[in-house]
């Protein structure tokens, strides 16, 4: 049975006080909960940087940020080394999959990515998923893990393959994603 480590508790949000606007929770721990029954006593949480980024996005979006099912903290359903599972057994998720809604409509994935890029910083990686059932983003914070560096941006193509970009190539990622989506429209 995994226990939440106490070392580094400054990485865990204070869900009762920090993330409220006019007394209303902006993001709740329940929204980020795993899609699995956990053993009694199993503790998990979200990394404070991911929570702060999601809160900032939800406020700036002026509409819902919908965390996808099993896409805050998770115990399965993602790649083997996913930051959704925590890092080295600490059970603190450093990743979130979501989509943004504005005026009752899911925002275009490009608009979601541009807004996310504007309100996060170089600690975060952003993945675009324009072909999910509810097109959205994966955002993670690899800082302090062996995933720092390398690819910081990516998009998943219609065929399921990924195209990766290094730090500083965010707008190239956006441009290529738009081109890919437009090519598919021409074929259809």
Q: pLDDT, tens digit, for every residue of 44-69?
A: 899 888 988 888 888 888 888 899 99
**Residue 63, pLDDT score:** 83
Is there a contact between 70 and 97 (Cβ–Cβ < 8 Å)? no
- Summarize the confidence of residues 106-130 as an average pLDDT: 92
Give the three-state DSSP class for 128. Answer: strand
pLDDT at 21 over 70: no
- Tell me the average pLDDT of the chain: 85
Residue 49: the pLDDT is 87
User: Does 89 reside within a domain?
Assistant: yes
Asked if the structure places residue 42 within a domain, the reply is yes
Q: Is 2 contained in some domain?
A: no
Q: How many domains does the chain have?
A: 1
Does some domain include residue 164? yes
Q: For residue 145, what pLDDT is reported?
A: 78
Q: Where are the beta strands (DSSP E) in 60-180?
A: 65-67, 92-93, 95-102, 105-106, 125-129, 136-140, 151-156, 162-166
Range of the structural domain that residue 41 is part of? 12-187
On the CB side of 169, how many CA atoms lie within 13 Å of its CA?
Answer: 17
Q: Residue 133: inside a domain, yes or no?
A: yes
Tokens of 149: 């560096």
Q: How far apart, in Å, are the Cα atoms of 8 and each of 73, 79, 92?
A: 17, 25, 10
Above pLDDT 90, what percent of the chain? 45
Is 113 exposed, middle or buried (CB count within 10 Å of its CB: 0-12, 13-18, 19+)?
A: buried
Looking at residues 19-48, what average pLDDT do you find? 79
Q: Is the dihedral of CA 37, 49, 117, 115 positive or negative?
A: positive
Query: Is the predicted pLDDT of residue 31 greater than 80, yes or no?
Result: yes
Summarised one tens digit per residue, pLDDT across range 78-88 is 988 899 999 88
pLDDT digits (tens, 9 = 90+) for 144-154: 777 766 679 99
Kindly state whether residue 7 falls inside one of the protein's structural domains. no
Highest-scoring range by mean pLDDT, 38-52, 76-90, 105-119: 105-119
Instruction: State pTM to two decimals.
Output: 0.86
The maximal CA–CA distance of the chain, rounded, in angstroms, is 54
Give CA–CA dist 85/79, Å, rounded.
10
* Mean pLDDT on 152-164: 95
Which of 14-23, 141-150, 171-180 has the highest average model confidence (pLDDT)? 171-180
> 22: pLDDT confidence band, cut at 50, 70 and 90?
low
């Amino acid at each position: 049975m995994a226990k939440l480590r106490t070392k580094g508790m400054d990485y865990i949000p204070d869900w009762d006080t920090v993330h409220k606007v006019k007394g209303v929770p902006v993001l709740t721990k329940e929204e980020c909960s795993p899609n699995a029954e956990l053993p009694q006593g199993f503790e998990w949480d979200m990394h404070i940087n991911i929570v702060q980024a999601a809160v900032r996005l939800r406020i700036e979006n002026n509409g819902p940020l919908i965390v996808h099912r099993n896409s805050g903290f998770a115990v399965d359903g993602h790649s083997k080394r996913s930051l959704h599972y925590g890092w080295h057994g600490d059970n603190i998720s450093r990743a979130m999959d979501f989509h943004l809604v504005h005026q009752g409509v899911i925002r275009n994935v490009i608009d979601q990515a541009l807004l996310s890029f504007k309100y996060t910083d170089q600690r975060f990686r952003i993945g675009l998923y324009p072909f999910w059932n509810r097109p959205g983003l994966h955002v993670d914070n690899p800082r302090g893990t062996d995933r720092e560096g390398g690819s910081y941006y990516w998009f998943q193509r219609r065929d399921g393959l990924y195209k990766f970009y290094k730090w500083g190539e965010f707008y190239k990622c956006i441009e290529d994603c738009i081109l890919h989506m437009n090519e598919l429209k021409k074929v259809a």
